[in-house]
Chains A and B, each alone.
Chain A
């Protein structure tokens, strides 16, 4: 996957030390941030069996990250309002680059590399007013900021590269947050949207839900290899409304809302923290750390069932199903409705698990 250009650039950036590939760091399948029992924060590489491939310290709590498709480096974003992101050499643990958004911009916790690893796209907002931006960074030039484009929405959160690598899909959460903290300023005037952009920033498609769902913040994404986008939502309106927390979309079609039975929907407490497609491509799973449960849906949006697990949040595809991580240190493998414990560690896994490309 490493292109000659990226390889040479990597050499240059690291002072002629060759960048190692992922095989050199134990061939992890996932990256996840965690809080250790002693209160320290780490980034951990996890293999498909749930074993640690590597662990590197982080200076503060991470949120999500992205793994470079070619060499063993990852970008880890600080929690919102993010003032920095770190590019970490997963072999040595060294911080290769510290990325700061331009003045007046904030990182929003997620990002994605281009398919060839030459560019990094970061989810950002203008501090005043929360207008969405995607920051574009030239990896080979040492993560040089080369530009930014609009997300055509407010408060973007997760973004993903579409299959084929020529477009991005962005979850515009629709929430205007105060510049200095996360106070929500516009809960009665939210306008979340799902937006598709070409890599040059030109708008391909914009999807909004019906007005009654304007307080359902679109925040997290999963994309199937054939281009179906699953978007997980967080309800900001009155409690107990039990509205759908998952939507499914294909380019050019109307979004499909995926509902659970009322009793189950209520138990999610209006909050989905992550979404992932199962490894066999048959179902999408969303997590609610507040409800301590996972909901499974078919690709058509039909409810398949719930799985209980306290403080569960991180989700990623696994060859045999879906990997789920939780704040109690568990790594669970969901195979349909059955659950298997892969690992239990004395730490708290943070919100997201990032699957390595491939």
Chain B
């Protein structure tokens, strides 16, 4: 009975379909992009002030934390724009090759921000910084080394990208979402489609966290792949997984316009299992008990996804794509 009432309450809360989209934008996404813009600008200032890895790392982590609030959005300006901020996974090792190439050649492109913006996306963004700041073989550079100029160029480029992305969402794409169903909007033909778009993104983010952020380093029991974890050099794998889950849960509540008890309980379990993981970089997963802890977190992230489907997707009548789920 209580469950039925919750569902009814949810349906009522969702009745004006645009409310969910508006709330997700104003409470979560737009503040998220603005905060990332500010954190990336602060990283740029920090790098110009002192480019050494030790000095830059705190601002790098703050920028990466801010990025996680919007990292899993792959629509609008983020559809093709996210990859140049977060080029990962990188199965072909593009980022390492790009960095090695720039450093070996002492490529003067670092002196020209406009030219640097044209460098391959694999050689820019947060994962290029992870590679430089987190690799002991590279991170010991001094202020007169080429790597110093490269870190500064990367930070400046990231700040520029973050500002562009924030502007794209705030002054452009937000209106595309909120004008869903209105004449002239050929992206979202109904308000429900805009909600569905955000809902699909948050589910995809959770699936990415379970399958890729955690699944990729887990590999198989016989062959764990710890160095395939996300930004493992700078110790971010666990933080990124938990933050992406927090963001998805909060976005689900904003979309539904109501508290989601099952989702909150599932999120609490995610925090609990994350707390039992020893190494935040997930580099200890060759140890069976450490591996088991990461597998539990992975399972709890999948349960969080299921809770959101039950509390948001099913009551709002949102289902996966007809064609995207079943190609041919």
List residues of chain A with CB under 8 Å of any chain B CB: 35, 63, 79-80, 109, 157, 219, 234, 238-241, 261-264, 266-267, 271, 273, 289-293, 306, 308-313, 326-330, 332, 339-341, 344, 348-351
Contacts and interface: CB of A to CB of B under 8 A. Distances in A.
Given A264-B80, A292-B75, A241 B91 contact: yes
Of residues B79, B83, B189, which shows the largest number of chain A Cβ atoms within 10 Å of its Cβ?
B189
B75 A308 contact: yes
B187 interface: yes
Given A239-B91, A291-B79, A310-B197, 5 more contacts: A79-B328, A240-B92, A271-B327, A292-B321, A310-B321
Nearest to B80: A263
A341 B189 contact: yes
B328 A351 contact: yes
A239 B25 CA distance: 30
A157 B327 CA distance: 12
Given A240-B89, A262-B120, A311 B83 contact: no
A290 B189 CA distance: 19
A326 B76 CA distance: 18
A273 B323 contact: yes
Given A267-B83, A308-B75, A351 B186 contact: no
B186 A311 contact: no
A342 to B, nearest CB: 10
A309 B321 CA distance: 12
A341 B122 CA distance: 36
A328 B189 CA distance: 9
Nearest to B122: A262
Contact of A293 (B79, B91, B186, B328): B79
Contacts of A262: 83, 120-122
29 contacts: A80-B328, A238-B91, A239-B91, A241-B92, A262-B122, A263-B83, A263-B84, A263-B121, A266-B83, A267-B74, A267-B79, A273-B328, A289-B324, A292-B75, A292-B79, A293-B79, A308-B79, A310-B196, A311-B321, A311-B323, A311-B324, A313-B323, A328-B321, A330-B189, A332-B186, A339-B186, A339-B187, A348-B323, A349-B322
Q: Is the interface of B mostly helix, strand, loop or mixed?
A: loop
Interface in B39-97: 74-76, 79-84, 89-92
B80 to A, nearest CB: 4
Interface string B119-144: 01110000000000000000000000
B323 A289 contact: yes
Query: Which interface class (under 10, 10 to 19, 20 to 34, 35 or more) fits B?
Result: 20 to 34
B69 to A, nearest CB: 20
A313 B196 CA distance: 18
Contacts of A267: 74, 79-80, 83
Interface in B279-309: none
Contacts of A328: 189, 193, 196, 321-322
Contacts of B74: 267
Contacts of B322: 35, 311, 327-328, 348-350
Contact of A350 (B76, B80, B323): B323
Contacts of A289: 321, 323-324, 327
A311 B322 CA distance: 7
Contacts of A240: 89-92
A263 B323 contact: no
Nearest to B76: A308
B264 interface: no
Contacts of B186: 309, 332, 339-341
B6 interface: no
A31 B323 CA distance: 17
B262 interface: no
A37 to B, nearest CB: 10
B249 to A, nearest CB: 23
Contacts of B328: 63, 79-80, 109, 157, 219, 273, 351
Report which residue of B79, B90, B322 has the largest number of chain A beta carbons within 10 angstroms of its beta carbon. B322
Nearest to B91: A238
A264 B80 CA distance: 5
Nearest to A313: B323
A309 B83 contact: no
A326 B188 CA distance: 12
A312 to B, nearest CB: 8
A262 B328 CA distance: 24
A157 B155 CA distance: 47
Contacts of A340: 186
B184 to A, nearest CB: 8
Name, among B76, B200, B327, the residue most crowded by chain A CB atoms within 10 Å (CB to CB): B327
A219 B185 CA distance: 32
B243 interface: no
A111 to B, nearest CB: 14
A306 B77 CA distance: 12
Contact of B327 (A290, A293, A310, A330): A290
A272 B200 CA distance: 20
Contacts of A80: 328
Contacts of B75: 292, 308
B179 interface: no
B86 to A, nearest CB: 11
A339 B328 CA distance: 25
Nearest to B193: A328
Contacts of A264: 80
Contacts of B120: 262
Contacts of A238: 91
B32 to A, nearest CB: 20
A344 B191 CA distance: 13
Contacts of B91: 238-241
B187 A309 contact: yes
A157 B196 CA distance: 32
B164 interface: no
A46 to B, nearest CB: 16
A239 B228 CA distance: 14
Contact of B80 (A109, A241, A261, A348): A261
